[in-house]
Each structure stands twice: as structure tokens, then as C-alpha cells.
Chain A
Amino acid sequence: MIEIFFKLFWSFFQIGLFSIGGGYAAMPLIQNQVVAIHGWLTMTQFADIITIAEMTPGPIAINSATFVGTQVAGLPGAIIATIGCVLPSCIIVLTLAWVYYKYRELSVMQGILSGLRPVVVALIAGAGISLCKLALLKEGAAGLSWSQIDLLSVGLFAAALIALRKFKLNPIWVMASIGVFNVVIHIWG
């Protein structure tokens, strides 16, 4: 049991340490640690947690830490994973704050941050591709082929993308309405 707590802590410590640029930057790291390395969640559960994180308050990383921690080791697991996730931020922010109040100089850190942006974009895109595969292929589909494409999901995806990019609608409302729409056409359709 101690070992599982240590694994949870260390996984979420790495997620906290390497998710640079906030928000979605944590997503590829969570997928890597939680789905690929430890197998704590399936890809479908991972997509569910991203969906739930979008619909509930709080950062994706904290939401995932709580969810994964609870699934793996109950409430203590959730608390340990959350602490692991927050600790790197805590150390680095406080160090930077100390430097800031001493020297009032931040440009090096900002240089590093903007230098990291291309790889952050690439990693988010990579996680996005996995999520698209999961959402747009039929459930349980093995490989990539035309016959495996779920046309209804592609339609919902296209509608959501238009709503977001063209009409700039709030993502939460877009997600909620598409979820409700999908229930309605399956139950009454």
C-alpha cells in the first residue's frame, strides 16, 4: 500500500513539474503517466476525466489527481496525488517570488517559457490526436480504417468545432448541449 502511495505521489509530482504553460499542458503528461506507464486508467476513462474536468471547476491536473488517486487508493490516494501535483509549483513559485522581490527580474524565466511553447503545442496536439481517435472511431474499434469511423460522432465533433471557432460559444455550453443532444437522439431516435 505504501508503494502505491509513493507511485501516485511521484507520478503526479512529475506531472506538476513538467506541465509548463498551464491548463492543457498537463493533459499529455497525465495521459503518459496514468494510461501509458501505470495503466491506472483506460483511454476511455482518461477521456472521461478530461470531459469531467472541463465541466467542473478547478485545474485539469488537480481534477485528475483526485480522480486517479481515489480510483487507485481511495481518499488518502486522492490527497497524496494532489499534494504531489502541487508541490513542484509550490517550490518553484516561491523561489521565483523570492527572486522577484530581491531582484525584480523575470525575463530569463519568461524566455525559457516561450522557448518551451512549441514542444508544449506539439504534446497537446499529440494528446488531442489520441482523444480524437477515441471519440471519432466506433467504440472498441481496433485499427484505423474508414469502416471504423463513427459518422454521428464526426458530425457532433464538426458541429462543436464550428460553434467554438466561428461563433466563439462557451466550451462548457457546447459540451453540455452536444451531450444532451446525443442522449436525445439515442433514446428517442
Chain B
Amino acid sequence: MDKKQEVSLIKMFTSTFTLSMFTFGGGFVIVPLMKKKFVDELHWVEEKEMMDLVAIAQSSPGAIAVNGSIIIGYRLKGIVGALVNILATVLPPLIILTIISYCYDAFRSSAVVSFAMRGMQAAVAAVIVDVVFNMIKGLIVERNRVGIVVMILALIANSVFKVNILILIVVCGAIGTVNTMSREKARKERIG
């Protein structure tokens, strides 16, 4: 791995910091940006490997932006690289939100801000509904019948019966995983 020598920790930090600073709306937006920076511009990671790293970031719990920068940092500079990259990802939101948080009470008691927040809440509700529609559409397109039933039951258990959210994740996750594995197996047998 002679490529590792070309990688500068400072360059990596500033690249990730800038990406994090300008990634609005979070999540999947940062993945193509990381690919552009580290594969196309800096040539630190190869494209095929980047795809696998993104898959790891998406398979792990937590924010995709954080996961993506941990794995790229680790790939480039080992554990130190991972820690430096976490810092670079977390600092921009940490700074911005700390400032907002300290001003929040003064900020929120202004009538203009209050009306703006009230209006934006309606829009946020719409954003979430839009996201949920797209996710449900995904399940329907896949014809994942067990998945759709699990989803409806989990929604009722969560919203009506207030079942503990962690129990729901573990139980429904186990059902879904067994279902997904057996579907994959059946699909492979059909092909093979």
C-alpha cells in the first residue's frame, strides 16, 4: 500500500470538514460528495473499493455521514484516521447547533421566528410524509409481503399500544431478517 504515504492527515481533515459543513439535509447526500472528493479528485481510494466502503457505512447503525467518514479515515490512516475524520464530520454541526442552542430561548420568543417555525413545522411534516411514502413504495415494488405486514403491525404496536421501540426493532428486525435471508436463498436457488 504505497498509496498510504501520499495521504495527508490535514488534507483529509479539511476535506471531510468541508464536506460536512456543506451537507444539508444529511444522509445520502454526503455519499456521492465523498466519492467525488476521495475517488475522483484526490485518487486516494479506488471506485470499486469505495462502493464497498459505502455499503459498510450504510449497513452500520448511526448517521451515514459519520459512518462514511469513519471508514474512509480508517482506510486511509487506520484508527487515528478514523478518529480525525469523526472529529471533522462532527465539528461543523456541533459548533452551529451549540450557537443556535444558546440563542434558542431569545430566538424562539420573537414573533417572527415563532411564525416561521410554525410554518416550517408544517413543511417538515410534509417532508417526513414524503420520505415515508417513498419507503413504503419501495416495500410494495419489491413485493415484500411479510415486510408490509411487519410494517403495519409495528406501526400499530408503536402508535396505538406504545410498545417499547427497542423491543420492536429487535423482534421485527429478527422476523424481517429471517424473511430476507430465506427470500435471498430461494432467489439464488431459482437462478442457480
A residues with a Cβ closer than 8 A to B are 14, 16-24, 26-29, 32, 47-48, 50-63, 66-67, 70-71, 75, 78-79, 82, 85-86, 88-90, 92-94, 96-97, 100, 104, 106-107, 109-129, 131-132, 134-136, 139, 153-154, 156-158, 160-161, 164-165, 170-172, 174-176, 178-183, 186-187
Contacts and interface: CB of A to CB of B under 8 A. Distances in A.
A93 to B, nearest CB: 5
Interface stretch (B6-14, B39-47, B100-108): B100-108
Contact of B169 (A60, A116, A125, A132): A116
Contacts of B67: 22, 89, 93
Interface residues of B, number: 96
Contacts of A24: 27, 128, 131
Interface of A is mostly: helix
Nearest to A168: B130
B111 to A, nearest CB: 8
Contacts of A170: 25
4 smallest CB-CB distances across A and B, nearest first, come from A182-B119, A58-B93, A115-B177, A59-B63
A56 B21 CA distance: 9
B59 A96 contact: yes
B186 interface: no
A62 B93 contact: yes
| A17, A104, A117, A176 — most chain B CB neighbours (10 Å) | A117
9 contacts: A18-B61, A51-B117, A70-B97, A94-B70, A107-B184, A114-B180, A119-B151, A124-B135, A134-B125
A162 to B, nearest CB: 9
B52 interface: yes
B80 interface: no
Interface in B43-99: 52-53, 55-67, 70-71, 74-75, 79, 82, 86, 89-90, 92-94, 96-98
Interface in B174-191: 174-181, 184
B136 to A, nearest CB: 6
A128 B174 CA distance: 24
A129 B168 CA distance: 17
A30 B147 CA distance: 24
B90 A62 contact: yes
A174 B125 CA distance: 12
Contact of B98 (A70, A114, A160): A70
B97 A52 contact: yes
A96 B56 contact: yes
A120 B143 CA distance: 17
Contacts of A17: 61-62
A160 B125 CA distance: 9
Contacts of B181: 111, 115
A13 B129 CA distance: 27
Of the candidates B108, B122, B130, the one having the most CB atoms from chain A within 10 angstroms of its own CB is B122
Given A97-B56, A131-B124, A116 B176 contact: yes
Contacts of A187: 111-112, 115
Contacts of B93: 56-59, 62-63, 66
Given A18-B61, A62-B63, A165 B133 contact: yes
